[in-house]
Amino acid sequence: MGTVVDSIKDAHVSFPGDKKIAVVFVLGGPGSGKGTQCAKIVENYGFTHLSAGDLLRAEIKSGSENGTMISNMIKEGKIVPAEVTINLLQKAMLESGNDKFLIDGFPRNEENRAAFENVTKIEPEFILFFDCPEEEMECRLLSRNQGRVDDNIETIRKRFKVFVESSLPVVGYYDLKGKVRKVDAAKTVNEVFDVVKDIFSPFHKKAE
């Protein structure tokens, strides 16, 4: 049995050429509220929400050799290889049947970004960037108590460091292209969503 890394070499998966795929990358430090806001965008605008972290955790739960490798990397606060995450994302996108996607917590670094565009031939519509002070994110993560292996103080601080060093350059790259929509994520959930609604106004609201 090959791993996901092996299988991507043989998986010539692509989207129909006549179908316009809209992708929004959702970035922000751990605890910045990405998941909460993504749920509201899905409810109101009909996007499919794909969390890179959730897909990786599902792979871990599957008990595969690949899942064990992913688990060990997450515990160390390291970033999983781009081809692993992209293969999981692309599979989920195709299976959804939708053409509008929020990809949450990805790309985690420049390698992820370049590989995603190269493999999928899709450039994001824009980057939704939740900007939140580290102290606020730390408080949120420690209080949410979801029983996740990466919700202890040492791993949280490793994740902050990785985000700043690896993910902020991705935000900078897209900022130069005029594709970053920055949101003050330290505000209340409803205040943040008021700003998000303005950003998503070009997309049709979901029919009631």
Residue 108 labeled ligand binder: yes
Residue 17 labeled ligand binder: no
**What is the 8-class DSSP label of residue 11?**
-
Residue 91 labeled ligand binder: no
Residue 79 labeled ligand binder: yes
**155 touches 78 (CB < 8 A):** no
**59 touches 66 (CB < 8 A):** yes
CA–CA distance, 107 with 92 (Å, rounded to integer): 16
Residue 140 labeled ligand binder: no
Residue 61 labeled ligand binder: no
Residue 172 labeled ligand binder: no
Residue 181 labeled ligand binder: no
- What is the length of the chain? 208
Q: And the tokens for 106?
A: 């990805």
CA distance to 22, 24, 47, per residue, from 204 (Å): 13, 15, 10
Residue 109 labeled ligand binder: no
Residue 159 labeled ligand binder: yes
Residue 2 labeled ligand binder: no
Residue 144 labeled ligand binder: yes
Residue 148 labeled ligand binder: yes
CA–CA distance, 175 with 177 (Å, rounded to integer): 5
Residue 34 labeled ligand binder: yes
Residue 105 labeled ligand binder: yes
Residue 29 labeled ligand binder: no
Residues annotated as binding site for a ribonucleoside 5'-phosphate?
57, 78-80, 105-108, 148, 159
In the annotated binding site, the residues are 31-36, 57, 78-80, 105-108, 112, 144, 148, 159, 187
Binding site residues for ATP, as ranges?
31-36, 144, 187
Residues that constitute the known binding site for CMP: 112
